[in-house]
């Protein structure tokens, strides 16, 4: 009698994680714990739950992000589809209200959207009837009430920073996806918000453009930051989460089940993400996510 083995059965075999990873993660964590963090957390959640009708998406979320003096911090957020990542971002953005519990920005309860929090979505969110300069200048004029000519000057500065020179007077439909996303990013960054919330910002871009965007984010957030920010980046791309994150969270059923420090990159995305030690790290996080899924199925 033959015993039919399907490829799906093999998923239960223990994956091969390089044991060095655990020492590396411990070392990073040890170094990072020495950093001086502020007393009042920049963002925190206290016993937050969120229900949509009868569907309890977030049972009891608690976190506290104490930011580091003089340094930006990016928290990458991974997790299966439907685990509540976008919901958490929207609660922080003030676009959704918790069913119970509270969210705080510094010591202030979050009760709606505010100027300290900027959001970047996957879908290009530019106005089709405005050119690049005016798209970037729009929130400066409308939200920050800055005079049009001054706002346009500031927008020009961002055009250069985002490598959009030459496209100033083009309209969104005349731009590639990567360029449109750079306009959306510029629009958020020029507001100089303390918090940047990004939901799959590069999800619609191909691998090469995605790498370019990741390198640009390293430049803007780590190498030449215009100010200290705390950024939350939701992504399905594990290499992107590790490459851009100072910390990686894994969300499962509305809860943070893993919070791990990772290193900042020293080389461009394409190079870093092909290195053996980076791939070992990817395997570690993949395994964490997959094991949650397998446990959930059993
Ligand atoms: N406005 C809403 N009304 C009803 N249910 C919602 C609403 N928003 C989200 N949900 C439900 O809450 C759960 C979590 O959704 P959420 O969008 O936060 O997941 P996610 O982790 O961002 O998933 P993905 O990776 O697919 O974007 C899902 O089951 C979703 O159907
Ligand atoms: Mg989502």
> How high is the pLDDT of residue 290?
87
What single string gives the DSSP state of each residue in the chain?
------GGGGGGSPP---THHHHHHHHHHHHHTTS-B-SS-SEEEEEEEEEETTEEEEEEEEEEE-PBTT--EEEEEEE-TTSSHHHHHHHHHTSS--SEEEEEETTEEP-S--TTEEEE-SS----TTS-HHHHHHHHHHHTS---HHHHHHHHHHHHHHTT-TT-TT--GGGS-HHHHHHHHHHHHHTTT-SEEEEESTTTTS-HHHHHHHHHHHHIIIIIS-SS--EEEEE-S-HHHHHHH-SEEEEEETTEEEEEEE-PPPSS-HHHHTTSHHHHHHHHHHHHHHHHHHHHHH-
> How high is the pLDDT of residue 177?
85
Domain end residue (candidates: 138, 172, 192): 192
Model confidence band, residue 7 (pLDDT cutoffs 50, 70, 90): low
Q: Decide: 86 in ligand 1 pocket, CB within 6 A.
A: yes
**Residue 158 counted as domain residue:** yes
**What does the pLDDT average to over 44-70?**
95
Ligand 1 atom 2: residue of nearest CA: 52
**Residue 223 counted as domain residue:** yes
Q: Decide: 252 in ligand 1 pocket, CB within 6 A.
A: no
In tens, the pLDDT along 189-244 reads: 899 899 999 999 988 888 998 999 999 999 989 998 888 999 999 999 999 999 99
Q: Are 185 and 209 contained in the same domain?
A: no
Model confidence band, residue 104 (pLDDT cutoffs 50, 70, 90): very high
**Residue 78 counted as domain residue:** yes
**Residue 216 counted as domain residue:** yes
Ligand 1 atom 26: residue of nearest CA: 81
Can you tell me which atom of ligand 1 is nearest the CA of 200?
27
Q: Are 156 and 291 contained in the same domain?
A: no
Q: Decide: 131 in ligand 1 pocket, CB within 6 A.
A: no
For residue 224, the CA-to-ligand 2 centroid distance in Å is 29
Of 5 and 73, the one with more pLDDT = 73
**Residue 4 counted as domain residue:** no
Model confidence band, residue 2 (pLDDT cutoffs 50, 70, 90): low
- The phi-psi region of residue 202 (left if phi > 0; otherwise alpha if psi is between -120 and 50; otherwise beta) is alpha
Q: Decide: 79 in ligand 1 pocket, CB within 6 A.
A: yes
Specify the number of domains making up the chain: 2
Q: Are 199 and 272 contained in the same domain?
A: yes
Q: Are 202 and 96 contained in the same domain?
A: yes
Q: Are 203 and 297 contained in the same domain?
A: yes
Q: Are 292 and 250 contained in the same domain?
A: yes
Q: Are 62 and 86 contained in the same domain?
A: yes
> How high is the pLDDT of residue 286?
93
Can you tell me which atom of ligand 1 is nearest the CA of 83?
21
**Residue 259 counted as domain residue:** yes
Parent domain of 137:
125-192
Q: Which ligand is nearest to the CA of 88?
A: 1
CATH code for the domain in which residue 58 is found: 3.40.50.300
In tens, the pLDDT along 248-259 reads: 999 999 999 999
For residue 87, the CA-to-ligand 1 centroid distance in Å is 6
pLDDT averaged over every residue in the chain? 90
Q: Write out the two tokens for 76.
A: 């990458």
Q: Decide: 81 in ligand 1 pocket, CB within 6 A.
A: yes
Domain end residue (candidates: 192, 218, 235): 192
Q: Decide: 139 in ligand 1 pocket, CB within 6 A.
A: no
Q: Are 205 and 285 contained in the same domain?
A: yes
**What does the pLDDT average to over 151-160?**
93
| Distance, CA of 69 to CA of 252 (rounded, Å) | 30
Domain end residue (candidates: 192, 207, 235): 192
> How high is the pLDDT of residue 124?
64
**Residue 2 counted as domain residue:** no
Q: Are 267 and 141 contained in the same domain?
A: no
Q: Are 157 and 214 contained in the same domain?
A: no
To the question of pTM greater than 0.85 for the whole model, the response is yes
Q: Are 298 and 244 contained in the same domain?
A: yes
**Residue 7 counted as domain residue:** no
Q: Are 201 and 294 contained in the same domain?
A: yes
């Amino acid at each position: 009698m033959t015993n039919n083995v399907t490829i799906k059965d093999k998923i239960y075999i223990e994956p091969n994680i390089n044991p060095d990873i655990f020492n590396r993660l411990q070392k990073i964590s040890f170094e990072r714990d020495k950093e001086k963090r502020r007393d009042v957390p920049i963002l925190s959640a206290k016993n937050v739950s969120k229900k949509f009708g009868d569907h309890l998406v977030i049972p009891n979320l608690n976190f506290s992000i104490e930011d580091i003096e003089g340094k930006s911090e990016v928290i990458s957020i991974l997790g299966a589809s439907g685990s509540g990542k976008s919901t958490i971002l929207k609660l922080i953005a003030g676009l959704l209200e918790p069913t119970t519990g509270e969210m705080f920005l510094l010591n202030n309860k979050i009760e709606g959207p505010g100027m300290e929090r900027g959001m970047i979505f996957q879908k290009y969110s530019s106005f089709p009837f405005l050119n690049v300069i005016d798209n970037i200048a729009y929130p400066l004029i409308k939200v920050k009430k800055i005079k049009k000519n001054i706002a346009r000057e500031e927008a020009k500065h961002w055009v250069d920073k985002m490598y959009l020179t030459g496209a100033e007077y083009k309209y969104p439909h005349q731009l590639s996806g990567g360029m449109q996303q750079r306009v959306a990013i510029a629009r958020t960054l020029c507001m100089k918000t303390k918090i940047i919330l990004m939901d799959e910002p590069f999800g619609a871009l191909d691998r090469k453009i995605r790498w370019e965007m990741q390198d640009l984010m390293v430049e803007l957030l780590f190498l030449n930051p215009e100010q200290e920010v705390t950024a939350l980046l939701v992504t399905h791309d594990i290499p992107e989460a590790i490459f851009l994150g100072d910390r990686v969270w894994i969300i499962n059923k509305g809860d943070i089940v893993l919070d791990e420090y990772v290193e900042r990159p020293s080389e461009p995305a394409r190079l870093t993400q092909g290195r053996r030690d980076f791939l070992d790290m990817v395997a570690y996080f993949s395994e964490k996510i997959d094991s949650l899924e397998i446990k959930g199925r059993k």
